[in-house]
Amino acid sequence: MQTVWVEKYRPKKLSEVVGQKAIVERLASYVRTRSMPHMLFAGPAGCGKTTCALSLARELYGDSWRENLIELNASDERGIDVVRGKIKDFARAATIGGSEFKIIFLDEADSLTSDAQAALRRTMERYTATCRFILSCNYSSKIIEPIQSRCAVFRFKPLLEADVREYLMRIASAEKLDLREDGVDAIASIATGDLRKATNMLQVAASGTDMVDQDVVYESTESMRPKEVDELLQIALKGNFTGARSKLDDLIVRHGLSGEDIVKGIHRAVFDLPVDENAKIRLVDKVGEAEFRIVSGSSERIQLEALIAHFAYEGRSGSNRASK
């Protein structure tokens, strides 16, 4: 069975973490002083929250880091029983190897119920002498205020494309892959700051070939090429709704993408369209409306066609204004 590259190339030290320099420096200071507060890691997926927590534990505890760290995923175990059971038992147990404290890493903590968070707040307060909590979440607003006030908050940002490229080239070198420049650019563009997604995409693209370029990336990940989205919108902006609808059908059948994926591709392309600023404002408003309706459960096909109809209407309206 092939090794999952996300885990194989996960940084083992804080100094190896990509793209979060300011946060890494603060965490490294905790390692030097052998002291740290409860912490809340907030940020989008794939930006290094789990990696930082595990790397911090490795550097604090050395070879005994597994015995002094418990990692729980709150999305699987969301109830108050988990806090009263697993977490509380680990928190009050003695440390191993002479360490000052242990670490409880609670991933996706924003999935915890309100009752579980209230119980967790009391546990954090009571067992500070023997353990520290690291809570990881995508949305810090879903964490109750009493917990936030007890934590040092670290806000992770999506990785820059340059950081993603550097990391992918490091993996390609280790795996002896012929990773072309346009292939790296394609992965970095699709990943939008999510390094885990980028790494998985590279592994999928490289599974059948030693040479990875732009064509291999788009074919293996079944992603829309920016050029195809541009063609769709250009046809619509010419007022040709029927032609744009046919192009949309072709994209859906060929790639099998969800409505959300297509709307996101359209959203990225809107800002490069050759229309005036007011037209972009109207179009982005319609893109947001379509995305909301799709997420709310409306028919993806109907909402996408309605969105394309707005582009066609905007194109015709623009032509009429220009003729006047």
Is 112 in the same domain as 210?
Answer: no
| Alpha carbon distance 41, 49 (integer Å) | 6
Is 298 in the same domain as 213?
Answer: no
Supply the CATH number for residue 200's domain. 1.10.8.60
Task: Say what the pLDDT of residue 7 is.
Answer: 87
Give the tokens for residue 309. 């109809």
Give the tokens for residue 253. 């059948």
Q: What is the band of 148 on the pLDDT scale with cuts at 50, 70, 90? A: very high
Task: Say what the pLDDT of residue 83 is.
Answer: 64
Domain final residue pick, 221, 246, 269: 221
Is 13 in the same domain as 91?
Answer: yes
Domain limits for position 212: 161-221
Supply the CATH number for residue 123's domain. 3.40.50.300
Q: Pairing between strand 152-155 and 39-42?
A: parallel
Is 129 in the same domain as 142?
Answer: yes
Mean pLDDT score of the chain? 86
Is 62 in the same domain as 35?
Answer: yes
Largest CA distance in the chain: 82
**Taking 50 as the threshold, does the pLDDT of residue 18 lie above it?**
yes
Is 201 in the same domain as 313?
Answer: no
In this prediction, residues 174-202 reach a mean pLDDT of 89
Is 73 in the same domain as 105?
Answer: yes
| Alpha carbon distance 307, 304 (integer Å) | 5
Task: Say what the pLDDT of residue 80 is.
Answer: 63
Q: Who contacts 293 (Cβ-Cβ below 8 Å, separation ≥6)?
A: 303
Is 202 in the same domain as 89?
Answer: no
Is 285 in the same domain as 237?
Answer: yes
pTM, 2 dp? 0.80
Long-range interactions of 276-282: CB distance < 8 A, separation 24+ = 276/318, 279/314, 279/318, 282/310, 282/314
Instruction: Let me know if 181 is exposed, middle or buried by CB neighbors in 10 A (0-12, 13-18, 19+).
Output: exposed
Task: Say what the pLDDT of residue 255 is.
Answer: 72
The tens digit of pLDDT for each residue in 31-81 reads 998 888 999 999 998 899 999 999 999 998 888 888 888 888 766 665 666
Tell me how far the alpha carbon of residue 281 is from its chain's centroid: 26
Long-range interactions of 260-267: CB distance < 8 A, separation 24+ = 260/291, 260/294, 260/295, 261/223, 261/224, 262/224, 262/304, 263/287, 263/290, 263/291, 263/294, 263/304, 263/307, 264/291, 265/224, 265/226, 265/229, 266/229, 266/232, 266/233, 266/307, 267/291
Task: Say what the pLDDT of residue 2 is.
Answer: 60
Domain final residue pick, 97, 132, 155: 155
CA dihedral (273, 275, 276, 279) positive or negative: negative
Is 286 in the same domain as 259?
Answer: yes
In this prediction, residues 205-220 reach a mean pLDDT of 85
Is 54 in the same domain as 93?
Answer: yes
Task: Say what the pLDDT of residue 24 is.
Answer: 92
Helices (H) and strands (E) in the chain, counts: 16, 7
Q: Please tell me the total count of domains within the chain.
A: 3
Domain final residue pick, 221, 247, 265: 221
Is 151 in the same domain as 9?
Answer: yes
Tell me which H or E stretch contains 72.
strand 69-73
